[in-house]
Amino acid sequence: KGEELSSREKNMEEYIILFYDFYSATSLFNIWTKYAPRLPADYYNEKLLKVGDSLCEMKFHALSGKNICHYELVCDSDVNLQNKDSVTQCLHILSSLRLIMQVALPQEHLCWIIFNGTIYIYTICRKLMIVGQSSKALEYLLWASTCMEFSVPLLSVRYLTWRATLYTAVCQCYYDCQAGIHGEAFARRALAKIDELRQLELMSSSQSQEESRRHYREATIKMAVMIFKRGVFESRRKNKSFFRPKIRVNLREAQTLPWPRTVTERLLDEMFDSTASRFLAVLEALSDSNRRTLQTGPIVTDEVEIRDVVSELFMAGKELLIMSNTGADGMLDFPQISLLQLTVKGNNVISIDAAVKFVKLAFTYEEWSLFESLAGQLIDFLQRQDDPESKKAEKDLTLLVAVEPLINVKRNKGLVFPMENYKEGQSAQIYVKKIAFHDSCAKTYGYSEDIFHLAATLYSVCASPQNVQPDKEIVVDMIMFLWQKCKLGIQRINMPRNDYAKFTQKISTNKVFLFVSFHLLFIIANLSCDVHFKSKFSLFIHVHNYRSLNVVPTKPFSKCILCTSAI
């Protein structure tokens, strides 16, 4: 009898998936009912429940797969989720995943469904955050974080890094929604949860393993950075209950002093124990997901103390770079490893990707001396690298260096001093002018060299044979920047013939430049921009405009010109 039960159990396990795929769960249970009179009741009920659990798990897996397939289809049809309907579909998918997790959460053996569900939710929510829908992603990320806390099997140290990632995403959503107070509060709560887990592990284990320490260090640093992001500013806000003004530090004089020189640098020393972690905190405090790179200008606030904090953060970032990455020749050098990995290891060195992000922030906040001096050294380093990430970063910085003279028209320098060994006039501008083709044309006709170099550089960078393109956001913003610069002139060129003849006399020195710039813009838009952006432009043959200006266009510009009525 025992052999018969063993044989039937083995056969049933083999046929579960087969019958479920080709027939239905009902057919499978009908087979079980035929065995009911021939099997002991306890054994029968136990195996029947086991089959039911297997079918339930398969259904959960199928539903999750269906949701992910649906999400992939949405992304295929609308990559940037620009349509309102695409965002709505993503929210429906998230609601479906949350419902599946609600059903599975009480059952510990279904913890894998919870874990996979958090991954799916995070993936979709990150996409929503990138396209500016953080407010809609927040509740689902909160749910995913809560599920990780309530699922007992997922409370082990091996899942701590993933929990910290979810915690960080929640904090970032709060900051994106201008609710920094809630972001800091959630980070402190998460830090307490991490400490609780650490205490439990210490009670159950006599010695902590190296892998566990690494997980705890990474999670703790992530939460500390989220706390610092708001705390560094809030600690300096003016207390309205006191009327006595605080004595401000002269930041120009402070830059000549040894570290730590300011309140911000002392706070960095108190909260973090390595150069990498301090630099990560500086980057996060300066970053604003609601601000594009070319949206330049100081932080928008009436509080002088907050503006001082921003300057102190740039001073700290510059000093950290000099202390940790300056080689024997006085130039910067960088390891080929991410900043987060360096942070977890506690290394006193900064990665190249972090330095590139820092110099972009210097551009955005108009710290021009720091930007120009640091960008030159970074471009020099990136030119010697062969990986795609370095080539992309080199192109991004090249474009920013090219556009800087057009934004910083008053030639301001900013508050932070330039990097050491920097001599004014020996900047990255020289490198940019070398890669801008037809440079002699600009000198011959006496056109605006800065605008010409920007258009030429933009074309050269985007049309290079390398299979690496610069940041699309920067490219699009520069195209629109040049369009605004030349829009009025192009529109007047399309005026009636009598008025047009008068206008051509006034712009005789700029006629070729206007055409060349917009030919460049059209080609770049055609190469690099998405369909939504391209729809703003139209291609028309306008040979008569060339003839009336007595201009002989060169290839490939002789075939196309922008139709200004399209914008």
Give me the percent of the chain exceeding a pLDDT of 90: 34
Give me the percent of the chain exceeding a pLDDT of 70: 70
Has residue 243 got a pLDDT over 70?
no
What is the structure's pLDDT at 159?
92
What 3-state DSSP class applies to 337? coil
What is the structure's pLDDT at 426?
53
What is the structure's pLDDT at 310?
93
Owner of token pair 């539903």: 63
Nearest in space to 474 (alpha carbons), one of 296, 219, 283: 296
In the structure, what pLDDT confidence band is assigned to residue 527 with cuts at 50, 70 and 90? low
What is the structure's pLDDT at 417?
83
What 3-state DSSP class applies to 42? helix
Has residue 2 got a pLDDT over 60?
no
> Token pair for residue 368?
């021009």
Nearest in space to 285 (alpha carbons), one of 240, 251, 320, 335: 320
In the structure, what pLDDT confidence band is assigned to residue 202 with cuts at 50, 70 and 90? confident
In the structure, what pLDDT confidence band is assigned to residue 445 with cuts at 50, 70 and 90? very low
What 3-state DSSP class applies to 562? strand
Has residue 566 got a pLDDT over 50?
no
Nearest in space to 432 (alpha carbons), one of 474, 461, 471: 461
Q: What is the pLDDT of residues 375-408, one digit of tens each?
A: 988 998 898 888 889 899 999 999 999 898 888 8
Domain boundaries, the chain: 2-204, 249-435, 436-567
Residue 495: HSE in the Cβ half-sphere, 13 Å Cα cutoff: 13
pTM attached to this predicted model: 0.81
> Token pair for residue 290?
């609601």
Nearest in space to 562 (alpha carbons), one of 470, 493, 477: 493
Cis peptide before 260 (omega within 30 of 0): yes
Has residue 7 got a pLDDT over 70?
no
For residue 535, the Cα-to-chain-centroid distance in whole angstroms is: 26
C-alpha span between 225 and 277 (Å, rounded)? 8
Q: What is the mean pLDDT of the chain?
A: 78
What is the structure's pLDDT at 535?
46
What's the CA angle centered on 542, arms 539 and 545, to 5 degrees?
140
What 3-state DSSP class applies to 539? strand
Nearest in space to 78 (alpha carbons), one of 557, 532, 556, 561: 532
Q: What is the pLDDT of residues 131-185, one digit of tens each?
A: 999 999 999 999 999 999 999 899 888 899 999 999 999 999 999 999 999 999 9
Helices then strands, counting H and E runs in the chain, come out as 25, 2
What is the structure's pLDDT at 423?
59
What is the structure's pLDDT at 485?
75
Has residue 540 got a pLDDT over 80?
no
Using alpha carbons only, how large is the chain's radius of gyration in Å?
30
In the structure, what pLDDT confidence band is assigned to residue 559 with cuts at 50, 70 and 90? very low
For residue 443, the Cα-to-chain-centroid distance in whole angstroms is: 39
